[in-house]
Amino acid sequence: MTEQIGNVTVNYEYYEGQDFYSDGDVEDEILDIVKTYPANEFNRIIADRKSWPVLYHLSDIRGNILQSMPIDKDDEVLEIGAGCGAITGTLARKAKNVTCIDLSKRRSLINAYRNRQYNNIEIMVGNFQVIEPNLPQKYDCITLIGVLEYGALYIKSNEPYLEFLSIIKKHLKPNGRVYIAIENKFGMKYWAGCQEDHIGGVFKGIEGYNDVEGVYTFGRKELEKLIKKAGYIEQKFYYPYPDYKFPMVIYSDDFLPEKGTLNKNNLNFDRQKIYMFDESKVFDQVIDEGMFPFFSNSFLVEAKCGE
């Protein structure tokens, strides 16, 4: 029930025979690309194809989100929701080994082919809730990059996001940490007319996701309270800019942006945007007021369960 693709092992023991999450047939195109071309050709292909899914899944900028985090060659990493492997390669270069979990067989194959040169990756295909009780070890580091917001789809619970973080904590080593990357529902881009990343429509998160099921993002204080309630004793917030999907700079509370530096605000490739105001000028006012953490488009959080 395993398949070897280059050096990568793909485990189908928990796969239910159907992919429940997909961007559609374009994923076959992406699979063909990663089978046929080396990674140093991806940027040329992105420019030629002019396709949002191709850009999103194959851009090397995606890996920046964890490039500067303190993950080292002794760390054993669990990547939940690995998708097409945009972050997996970064983790494989930094860590001792990487165990990936993803619902989709097709996305897992894309991951395996694009990262087949690494000998420290295993991909487990299936629902996290099914795989989780059978995880063979505890981990130094667990990543949720663009995953927590879908917690209600993975976890059957009255409080799925809290339950998700609580379950994950059980699989951390005593000084382990979780890295969570997620959109800020109060991010500046949403006030400025960007549609909600997951479901479309303007102001959906700002208005509290009324009549929306299956996805939820958080404001800064709300996310902080959730992580604390799940039992993590320490957390540190970072602020990827323009957002966590294509991070060019990652700010922190110790290194906040200066006026005039937030000028890459028109990177909205997947949906039409209503241009409500000049985000750069508004960001300058927000920086003056010390409110950038509230309006950051995305968060990256390092949460620890030990010292």
- Using pLDDT thresholds of 50, 70 and 90, give the confidence band for residue 194: very high
CA distance 121 to 115: 8
Give the count of domains, the chain: 1
134 pLDDT more than 80:
yes
Q: SS3 helix, strand, coil % of the chain, rounded to 5?
A: 35, 20, 45
Q: Which pLDDT value is given to residue 307?
A: 61
98 pLDDT more than 80:
yes
pLDDT digits (tens, 9 = 90+) for 256-284: 999 999 998 877 767 888 889 999 999 99
**How many C-beta atoms surround the C-beta of residue 200 within 10 A?**
11
Range of the domain at 223: 2-304
- Rounded mean pLDDT, 187-200: 93
User: What CATH number corresponds to the domain at position 277?
Assistant: 3.40.50.150
- Rounded mean pLDDT, 199-205: 92
306 pLDDT more than 80:
no
Task: Spell out the long-range contacts of 237-241 with Cβ–Cβ below 8 A and sequence spacing 24 or more.
Answer: 237/293, 237/299, 237/300, 237/301, 238/299, 238/300, 238/301, 238/302, 239/292, 239/293, 239/296, 239/298, 239/299, 239/300, 240/64, 240/65, 240/181, 240/296, 240/297, 240/298, 240/299, 240/300, 241/296, 241/297
- Rounded mean pLDDT, 176-199: 95
- What is the average pLDDT score of the chain? 94
pLDDT digits (tens, 9 = 90+) for 25-41: 899 999 999 999 999 99
**How many C-beta atoms surround the C-beta of residue 226 within 10 A?**
19
CA distance 94 to 276: 41
Inter-residue contact 296 to 187 (CB < 8 Å): yes
- Rounded mean pLDDT, 176-203: 95
